[in-house]
Chains A and B, each alone.
Chain A
Amino acid sequence: MPVTGYLIVSALLFTIGAMGVLVRRNPLVMFMSIELMLNAVNLSFMAFAHFLNSVDGWMFVFLVLVVAAAEVVVGLAIIVSIFRTRHEIDVDELNMLKG
């Protein structure tokens, strides 16, 4: 497969993730959409690593994986603490800075 095939799949996945963040109301599903976007970028990094014959793409994917794990931990903690104070997680209802 040429590199363009992988990049088009990656672009489609990234777009679907961005649409999920824009459209959905559940912060957990928005979070999953962010994961989709991160993984889409990972796929294009891997494709470039393979076709540019360079190991740097692997390193970036590894670092993105770690950052994604850290981001999930902190984000889920934020969502849980919002749920504790407001007893709802609809992002359209969360329109006050002070809970």
Chain B
Amino acid sequence: MTLQVIAFFVLATVAVASALGVISFRNPIYSMLSLILNLVSLAFFFLMLEAIFIATIQILIYAGAVMVLFLFVVTMLTPEGGGISGPDRLRWQWGAGVGLGIILAGGLIIALLNGSLAADAKTAGLNGLSQAVAHFGNTEAFGQALFHGFTFPFEVTGVLLVIAVLGAVVMSRRFVRE
């Protein structure tokens, strides 16, 4: 086994275990810390896939900025004991959720194993990622693609961010009823 295969299996174990932690911890703070571990392990996956820039922004923006915002709201809304107490009125949801989850995982993995992905992967390669990376360097290749081929989606993304900020301001404003 090469080093890369060992790293893959370690990272896969960490990612799946931390994802299970997100949905099984009682206290939402622990769920969130587990989610951060999951995001960091995905960033390492991205590094293994030779996407240095995406791995960096995954850690800086996702595991950093977005999760800090999450942490503020979780600490604001979580009561002293942590989590929601009281009787669970819909206990059957657990059985149904786990059953549907197993069906979904099975379906996805069967589709993956039966698919013709591996055959297609060899013939594709239209934009020449490795060529661009070799020619420009990793981050420059990203920037070239973003500002040459994907300018319109980039601009639309800016509009989306403005709308999201305005929506958050409008929704979290305290309405004073006279």
Binding site for B on A (CB under 8 A): 1-9, 11-20, 22-26, 28-29, 31-33, 35-36, 39, 42-43, 46-56, 58-59, 61-63, 65-74, 76-81, 83-84, 89-90, 92
Contact = CB atoms under 8 A, between A and B. Distances in A.
Interface residues of B, number: 87
Contact of B157 (A13, A16, A63, A72): A63
Contact of B172 (A2, A54, A81): A81
Given A36-B22, A36-B35, A72-B70, A13 B16 contact: yes
A41 B8 CA distance: 17
B176 interface: no
Given A36-B35, A70-B160, A92 B62 contact: no
A76 B127 contact: no
Contacts of B23: 16-17, 19-20, 23-24, 29, 33
30 contacts: A1-B5, A7-B117, A8-B112, A13-B19, A16-B16, A18-B100, A18-B101, A22-B101, A23-B98, A26-B28, A26-B84, A28-B77, A32-B70, A36-B38, A42-B42, A46-B45, A46-B51, A52-B120, A52-B124, A55-B129, A61-B51, A65-B57, A65-B61, A69-B161, A70-B161, A73-B167, A77-B167, A77-B171, A80-B77, A81-B171
Interface in B107-166: 108-109, 112-113, 117-118, 120-121, 124-130, 132, 141-142, 145-146, 149-150, 153, 157, 160-161, 163-165
Nearest to B16: A12
Given A23-B23, A43-B46, A59-B145, 16 more contacts: A4-B112, A13-B16, A28-B73, A36-B19, A36-B38, A43-B42, A52-B124, A53-B130, A54-B126, A55-B141, A66-B157, A67-B160, A71-B164, A79-B77, A80-B171, A92-B88
A62 B56 CA distance: 11
A42, A71, A73 — which one has the most chain B CB atoms within 10 A of its CB? A73
Where chain A touches its partner, the secondary structure class is helix
Contacts of B46: 43, 46
Interface of B: 4-5, 8, 12, 15-16, 19-20, 22-23, 28, 31-32, 35, 38-39, 42, 45-46, 48-51, 53-54, 57-58, 61-62, 65-66, 69-70, 73-74, 76-78, 83-84, 86, 88-90, 93-94, 96-98, 100-101, 104-105, 108-109, 112-113, 117-118, 120-121, 124-130, 132, 141-142, 145-146, 149-150, 153, 157, 160-161, 163-165, 167-168, 171-172, 174
